[in-house]
Structure 1
Amino acid sequence: MQLHHFLLAAISLAVTVQSFWLGDIQHQGLAPFAGANAPVFRNVKDYGARGDGVTDDTAAINNAITTPGNRCGRGCASTTTTPVVLYFPAGTYLISSSIIPYYFTQMYGDASSPPTLKATANFQGFGLIDGNPYWTENPNWVTTNVFYRQVRNFILDTTAIAPATPATGMHWPTSQATSLQNIVFNMPKGNGVVHVGLFIESGSGGFMSDLTFNGGATGASMGNQQYTMRNLAFNDCGTAIIQLWNWGWTYIGLRINNCGKGIDISANSNGKQEVGSLTLIDSTIINTPVGVATAWSSSSQPPTAGSVVLENVALQNVPVAVSGPSGTVLSGSSGSTTITAWSQGHRYTPNGPANQIGAIAPNNRPSVLLDGGKYYTRSKPQYESLPASSFVSVRSAGARGDAAADDTAAIQNAINSATSAGKVVFIDYGLYRLTAPITIPPGAKIVGEGYPVLMAAGGYWSNVDNPQPVIKIGDTSGQAGSVELSDFVVGTQGSEPGAVLFEYNLASTGTPSAMWDVHTRIGGFTGSQLQVAQCLKQPGSSTVVQQCVAAYMSFHATKQSSGLYMENTWLWVADHDIDDNANTQTTIYAGRGVYIESTEGRFWLMGTASEHHVLYNYQFSNTKNIFASELQTETPYFMPTPNALVPFKVNTSLRDPDFGASCSGVAGNCAAAWGLRVLDSRDFVIYGAGHYSFFSSYSTTCSTVEAGENCQSRIVSIEGSSSNINIYNLNTIGSLSMIDRDGRSLASWQDNVNVYPANIAVYRSG
């Protein structure tokens, strides 16, 4: 009897220790434009879900999503005003139809004991989680406008559905600032199974990590513009991955075990390939007859479609590494072998195009970017071992988050007190006005609840000739240490033309600092005062509305800084109003995107994007040791009316591009934002990049092959003493020149036509 009581006490203690802080913490999140009866945090058990594996919890879960509050569901285009964080304690939740996360819904399971969503045998719906339902002939939300949503910490189980009955674990056609993390897809195994774990048919992603697929006909069947996917495992699938279409896709740390086929990119339509490019690095394929199946041949169309780059891919009992329409393209092995580096597609090393298939020299990987020979990666922490008492709420510290009060002092005090005590700052959902800079000291850990917004406001940043940081990470002395930041947004309220949204100063020489799902959003949302009412687009007009000159720069890594891992960070100047039900386009000006001038470097940009900045989206100067995957940019839609000569002056101390001087003699629309500019820098490894220019004065007629891809003249520039610059699967749209070196075009789009972009499989600087 005493032993029995001892065991019960031990079990009770274990449960107490493992309780996930997110379920225990006081929730004070405020959605200031949603009304008083619209709670942000919702525990599904408070809405009647049982999680006992017996009760049908479908209605209770969907009710927790939809009510109370005027949520953005059927017929709603998008919104930022009614956020919901939907929490699932540990358990098994039986569902008989799809869970539909409305717009701006985050679904979180208990990270210490992920809950299971288990389909009943008679399940009806397109995915246990249907992220964009077909209530009409089209997905409810335009897939390229679905932003700011997460699903993490779940097991999705379709094993109760008959193997020969079609079933999908998750339907997820979404775009930037979305993520899936720590999800297991369990499906029946064996012949005759038709289940699919993850299905995506469109969108503009994106990032996913830490997913496991067990069984099924297909682990993941996906089509989207571009993606970075990291740490995905496929076990006993008929085919691990089917690419329906893409422009560019990068897999890092992929593990395929005992599947009939690895990655199938052979999709064709009317004789034309649908898949643009594939980049696969630091990955393993085991006991799988074919590693990569392609449709590429010397006569296939478009000429560069199906470009493939493989680097550091270990094979074990994979007889065919790469197959094509006529059989084996690259042999594997019945034993063990590693593909050091191999490509098919156009090469510029640095001149080209050379249309080649075969081994290539692997990238010269900077050792400071590696961990055990592979590139350093790090999953977003969820602090599951910490109790709720280890978190300090900014609301409890006095911040209001109502988009009106000055929350500067309260937030700074919360950061200082939490960091000094070794605790984590919790930013309850809200819109927090800042009237002076916030400093984040070394050692700080900050996590947001459902993407709260910190907004520069009140005029401190009104002087465009004296730019100042909004969020300052470390002081300017080369301060040592690191920080962990996740799940929040930084923007401006109204015109703050001198605002530098992030200034990174820390020298993180040991463990890098890290930012996961931390974004900038400049305009386009309620509370920003930069919406349709203030900044409606004026196609063809070169008049700058000063009220819409919103920010100076999104992110600046200063000279003394070093060591930062950025994962799924989207730095966006709003091209449309998210809270306008027609998604009406806007014209908003921010000068610069990401500027890194760290002399030591050591930056990892894992699935990041920077869009619609006037002068450039990414610029690197006098730096080194840079890793990037699917570096994605878009030129402002209003260009060339006005062009990049206004409204921001050239700042020579920041090495701004001088379009007035450099555009002399350049044909076409030259004074347009650079997608990527590299100045006097070295040791870059870029695994996938998409630099896009879709519009000319809000018209897309310039960005088609038929029109001549003439939205702008140039989009990627390598300049000065830059060396060892390596780019795999560079994709451009709408630019006459794909890449320039010191003002000379190295590659034209006409020579490298792909499925929609132009593609260069391998570029290496001279």
Structure 2
Amino acid sequence: MRFTSLLLAAAGLASTVSAYWLGDIAHQGNAPFSGAGYSVFRNVRDYGAKGDGVTDDTNAIDAAINAGNPCNQGCTSTTTTPALVYFPAGTYLISGSIKPAYFTQLVGDASSPPTLKATANFAGFGLIDGNPYYTSVLNWKAVNVFFRQVRNFVIDTTNIPPGNAATGMHWPTSQATSLQNIVFNMPSTSDVVHVGLFMEEGSGGFLTDLTFNGGATGASMGNQQYTMRNLKFNNCKTAIIQLWNWGWTYFGLSINNCQVGIDISAGGPGSIQTGSVTLIDSSLTNVGVGVLTAWTTGSTPETGGSLILENIALSNVPVAVKGPNGTMLSGSTGAVTITAWGNGHSYTPSGPSEWSGTVTANPRPAALLANGRYYARSKPQYETLPASSFVSARSAGARGDGATDDTAALQNAINSAVAAGKVLFLDYGLYRVTSTISIPPGAKIVGESFPTIMSAGAFFNDITHPKPVLQVGATSGQPGYVELSDFIVSTQNAQAGAILIEWNLATSGTPSGMWDVHARVGGFTGSQQQVAQCVKTPSNAAVNPNCIVAYMSMHVTKAASGLYMENVWLWTADHDIDDAANTQITVYSGRGLYIESTTGTFWLYGTGSEHHVLYQYQLSGTQNIFMGQIQTETPYYQPTPNALSPFTPVASLNDPDFIASCAGVAGNCAAAWGLRVLNSKNVLIYGAGLYSFFSNYSTSCSTFTAGQTCQARIASIEGTADNVNIYNLNTIGSQSMLNRNGQQIAWYGDNVNVFPSCVALFKSS
């Protein structure tokens, strides 16, 4: 097939074949609520795109994106019109912005990434405009743009005159979105004003494996929070401009031959716009100023511009950190490594203390490292495999129509793929299952535009006998290795006993992985957990039993180990994505991510957990965990009802009781924890945003003026805590930022930042 593809390409023949398996395999995705004849997969060549570097392919690409009337201009959001728009290798000349619709993935040939090349007279805001300004505001509310990917492209603005404004990609989006394997090529002349990546709003998010060559600015970005990994900047004037943020984690940056590495000086010392930045395991070479900051003693807000640097290799970087009054940290014209340095407020473990200078670096367990850095691995795209290495779930008999019981067919497809040593291709669909789906060792599963495995029926609706929807490994501690990517696990109707993902597998050597695998509970067509069934009821504490929809999002059991998680969002819906007004709903899921592995060894890059009743993250009796920029939100309805309803705390799960622990605590104490760590060690958190925006659906509690009164507490460390450390802890709406064994450690009012409160450095001992 690969040889045939090359012959066809040489002959200039339009075809759906490709050198990459995704273009070769049959596509049978079923979007059950999009109407007859709707195609999930679109190859741009089938819509007239030539990819010859000469023909203007703009209209053909637009036709591929807009086939089937997806959610674009004027549409709020959707889950009913998914699309995967595929670009075979080639150079696609474009004269206007490519504007992917909501719930649309743009994917290029991973074995030979296609080039999107602007014409000299290009008109538009980004060669890819991920959220257009059709009016004076963004088409989609940036904090509600979910479930989107762009990967495997070269974005080239070199035809546009260097002095003309040009942007490679405009990407104001939110959770469960990702960019991967993209190269931005821009002119390198002294007069260049091009920008590679621009985002101005949103609640992200994750991106990885991006390279920026040339330009005035590699990436110019403002967003609530982000994890960004493996970014390379070559010959940019400024590699990164941080327009604003609450919390941001950069891992594995390589900045080369730039005047400025990271500019976080927006607003100046009188009105700092950057909340906090965590930069780790990175290198800067031939850079004039590593970090340009507005922070200084007495700047406003007082913790604005909080900065942590850890394990940063400098080569010919004369100034490592420069502030308003000059050099804050000297670099070197030779080679030097910054072990750990920062500024902001510290608690070690008491505080606050304002500091700027060297700190003791986190002790790093060897089990979490590879070549001296924290282990990381990009999502596998199987670019070396032929199409014959993939097995289709639909071809194996699964319907994916949201109504048929697909349990047996889906299980057989998984087992057959493992037995044959092949990858299961989960064609788009809503796969309704009425008993547990088992993922055996050796499984590799990749989805097409976020298909959904959705539990249903009485098997999952016993709150006293919870059952896993997806069980990875048959028993806790079963040895083996799996790879899971690009799909969603959900529930349908009342599912009070559903554990969406139970992870039992113990992996040694190369860790098992979950990439872009999400738990989504409620708020989408087919879930029967929408506005019609579960509309919000402010000031009414009565629980609708039909809206108790999950017991737990993810459980990592005691003997499990060796799991890498990247861009995993465990979301209990706060609104109906398929409602034109995004109307808020009240659905109840008990617990977020619970890790009780005694061995540990877990990596969490860019994960989030939101709106679970008892907690978002709970770590108990575990160890050796890396967490990069975790993000949480408390349920919007609490305290009506509070966290004691409708799930009774279970002692065997170490659930918080909110009774004894709330004795004598003023304010809304029985509210979901954002983060709870019990009797654990070597828990290293590189950025955390723990948010409580609402009380009984009102946001009046979440401002500094209101006194951050949404809840009394949001993060807790209990029992023994050896090497449990947090960099740049940001909280909103909670009076106490951090508790230790029931006692308040950090108070919100002592650590005021741009919108959250921020503690730059917490060490448990």
TM interval, shorter chain, is over 0.9
1:645 equivalent in structure 2 = 644
Distance (Å, rounded) in 2 between the aligned partners of 1:57 and 1:167: 19
2:62 equivalent in structure 1 = 62
Task: Kindly state the Cα deviation for residue 19 of structure 1 after the two structures are TM-superposed.
Answer: 1.4
Task: Kindly state the Cα deviation for residue 397 of structure 1 after the two structures are TM-superposed.
Answer: 0.4
Question: What secondary structure does 1:617 align onto?
Answer: strand
Distance (Å, rounded) in 2 between the aligned partners of 1:271 and 1:596: 42
- CA distance change for structure 1 residues 175 and 346 in 2, over 3 Å: closer, same or farther? same
- The residue identity in structure 1 corresponding to 2:329 is L
Task: Kindly state the Cα deviation for residue 38 of structure 1 after the two structures are TM-superposed.
Answer: 1.6
Check if 1:176 corresponds to 2:164. no
1:43 equivalent in structure 2 = 43
Summarize the alignment of residues 755-766 of structure 1 with structure 2, pairs less than 5 Å apart: 755-766=754-765
- The 8 Å contact of residues 18 and 384 in structure 1, kept in 2 or not, is answered as no
Summarize the alignment of residues 470-481 of structure 1 with structure 2, pairs less than 5 Å apart: 470-481=469-480
After superposition, the C-alpha distances for 1:97-140 in whole angstroms (9 at most, x for unaligned) are 00000101000000000000000000000000000000011000
Distance (Å, rounded) in 2 between the aligned partners of 1:30 and 1:456: 18
**Number of residue pairs aligned between Structure 1 and Structure 2:** 758
1:366 equivalent in structure 2 = 365
2:232 equivalent in structure 1 = 233
Summarize the alignment of residues 187-586 of structure 1 with structure 2, pairs less than 5 Å apart: 187-268=186-267, 271-586=270-585
1:588 equivalent in structure 2 = 587
- CA distance change for structure 1 residues 44 and 693 in 2, over 3 Å: closer, same or farther? same
After superposition, the C-alpha distances for 1:571-604 in whole angstroms (9 at most, x for unaligned) are 0000000000100000000000000000000010
Question: What secondary structure does 1:486 align onto?
Answer: strand
Question: What secondary structure does 2:45 align onto?
Answer: helix
- The 8 Å contact of residues 631 and 690 in structure 1, kept in 2 or not, is answered as yes
2:13 equivalent in structure 1 = none
Task: Kindly state the Cα deviation for residue 37 of structure 1 after the two structures are TM-superposed.
Answer: 2.4
1:4 equivalent in structure 2 = none
Task: Kindly state the Cα deviation for residue 18 of structure 1 after the two structures are TM-superposed.
Answer: 8.2
- CA distance change for structure 1 residues 318 and 437 in 2, over 3 Å: closer, same or farther? same
TM-score normalised by L of structure 2 = 0.98
Distance (Å, rounded) in 1 between the aligned partners of 2:320 and 2:264: 13
Distance (Å, rounded) in 2 between the aligned partners of 1:508 and 1:348: 35
- The 8 Å contact of residues 18 and 88 in structure 2, kept in 1 or not, is answered as no
Distance (Å, rounded) in 2 between the aligned partners of 1:422 and 1:79: 36
Distance (Å, rounded) in 2 between the aligned partners of 1:669 and 1:728: 26
2:98 equivalent in structure 1 = 99
Task: Kindly state the Cα deviation for residue 70 of structure 1 after the two structures are TM-superposed.
Answer: 2.6
- In structure 1, runs of 5+ residues without a counterpart are 1-7
- CA distance change for structure 1 residues 407 and 566 in 2, over 3 Å: closer, same or farther? same
- The 8 Å contact of residues 523 and 573 in structure 1, kept in 2 or not, is answered as yes
Question: What secondary structure does 2:750 align onto?
Answer: helix
2:752 equivalent in structure 1 = 753
User: Which region of structure 1 is more displaced relative to structure 2, 270-279 or 375-384?
Assistant: 270-279
Distance (Å, rounded) in 2 between the aligned partners of 1:18 and 1:35: 28
- The 8 Å contact of residues 72 and 79 in structure 1, kept in 2 or not, is answered as yes
- The residue identity in structure 1 corresponding to 2:761 is V
- The 8 Å contact of residues 34 and 70 in structure 1, kept in 2 or not, is answered as no
Distance (Å, rounded) in 2 between the aligned partners of 1:29 and 1:9: 25
1:662 equivalent in structure 2 = 661
After superposition, the C-alpha distances for 1:523-563 in whole angstroms (9 at most, x for unaligned) are 00000000000000011110111110000000000001001
- The 8 Å contact of residues 92 and 115 in structure 1, kept in 2 or not, is answered as yes
- The residue identity in structure 1 corresponding to 2:253 is L
- CA distance change for structure 1 residues 288 and 270 in 2, over 3 Å: closer, same or farther? closer
Distance (Å, rounded) in 2 between the aligned partners of 1:14 and 1:109: 16
1:22 equivalent in structure 2 = 22
- The 8 Å contact of residues 476 and 558 in structure 2, kept in 1 or not, is answered as no
Task: Kindly state the Cα deviation for residue 10 of structure 1 after the two structures are TM-superposed.
Answer: 13
Summarize the alignment of residues 9-158 of structure 1 with structure 2, pairs less than 5 Å apart: 19-67=19-67, 69-158=68-157
- The residue identity in structure 2 corresponding to 1:728 is Y
User: Which region of structure 1 is more displaced relative to structure 2, 613-622 or 266-275?
Assistant: 266-275
- The residue identity in structure 2 corresponding to 1:41 is F
- The residue identity in structure 1 corresponding to 2:713 is R
1:672 equivalent in structure 2 = 671
Task: Kindly state the Cα deviation for residue 459 of structure 1 after the two structures are TM-superposed.
Answer: 1.6
Distance (Å, rounded) in 1 between the aligned partners of 2:350 and 2:302: 18
After superposition, the C-alpha distances for 1:271-309 in whole angstroms (9 at most, x for unaligned) are 310000010000000001000000011111000000000
Question: What secondary structure does 2:460 align onto?
Answer: coil
Question: What secondary structure does 1:460 align onto?
Answer: helix
- The 8 Å contact of residues 576 and 585 in structure 1, kept in 2 or not, is answered as yes
Task: Kindly state the Cα deviation for residue 270 of structure 1 after the two structures are TM-superposed.
Answer: 9.3
Distance (Å, rounded) in 2 between the aligned partners of 1:459 and 1:493: 11
Task: Kindly state the Cα deviation for residue 722 of structure 1 after the two structures are TM-superposed.
Answer: 2.0
Distance (Å, rounded) in 1 between the aligned partners of 2:115 and 2:19: 17
How high is the sequence identity, in percent, across the aligned residues?
Answer: 68
After superposition, the C-alpha distances for 1:117-166 in whole angstroms (9 at most, x for unaligned) are 00000000000000000001100000000000000000000000000000
Question: What secondary structure does 1:98 align onto?
Answer: strand
Task: Kindly state the Cα deviation for residue 476 of structure 1 after the two structures are TM-superposed.
Answer: 1.2
- The residue identity in structure 2 corresponding to 1:103 is Y
Task: Kindly state the Cα deviation for residue 12 of structure 1 after the two structures are TM-superposed.
Answer: 5.9
- CA distance change for structure 1 residues 476 and 79 in 2, over 3 Å: closer, same or farther? same
- The residue identity in structure 2 corresponding to 1:584 is T
Task: Kindly state the Cα deviation for residue 269 of structure 1 after the two structures are TM-superposed.
Answer: 6.8
Distance (Å, rounded) in 1 between the aligned partners of 2:620 and 2:40: 42
TM-score normalised by L of structure 1 = 0.98
After superposition, the C-alpha distances for 1:54-112 in whole angstroms (9 at most, x for unaligned) are 00000110111112x23111111000000110000000000000000010100000000
Distance (Å, rounded) in 2 between the aligned partners of 1:66 and 1:475: 43
1:5 equivalent in structure 2 = none
- The residue identity in structure 1 corresponding to 2:614 is L
Question: What secondary structure does 1:288 align onto?
Answer: strand
- The residue identity in structure 1 corresponding to 2:59 is A
- The 8 Å contact of residues 268 and 294 in structure 2, kept in 1 or not, is answered as no
After superposition, the C-alpha distances for 1:194-229 in whole angstroms (9 at most, x for unaligned) are 000000000000000000000000000000000000
- The residue identity in structure 2 corresponding to 1:47 is Y
Distance (Å, rounded) in 2 between the aligned partners of 1:14 and 1:60: 18
- CA RMSD in angstroms comes to 1.5
Distance (Å, rounded) in 1 between the aligned partners of 2:754 and 2:37: 48
Distance (Å, rounded) in 1 between the aligned partners of 2:463 and 2:18: 50
- The residue identity in structure 2 corresponding to 1:649 is T
- CA distance change for structure 1 residues 449 and 10 in 2, over 3 Å: closer, same or farther? closer
Distance (Å, rounded) in 1 between the aligned partners of 2:383 and 2:7: 18
Distance (Å, rounded) in 2 between the aligned partners of 1:299 and 1:601: 42
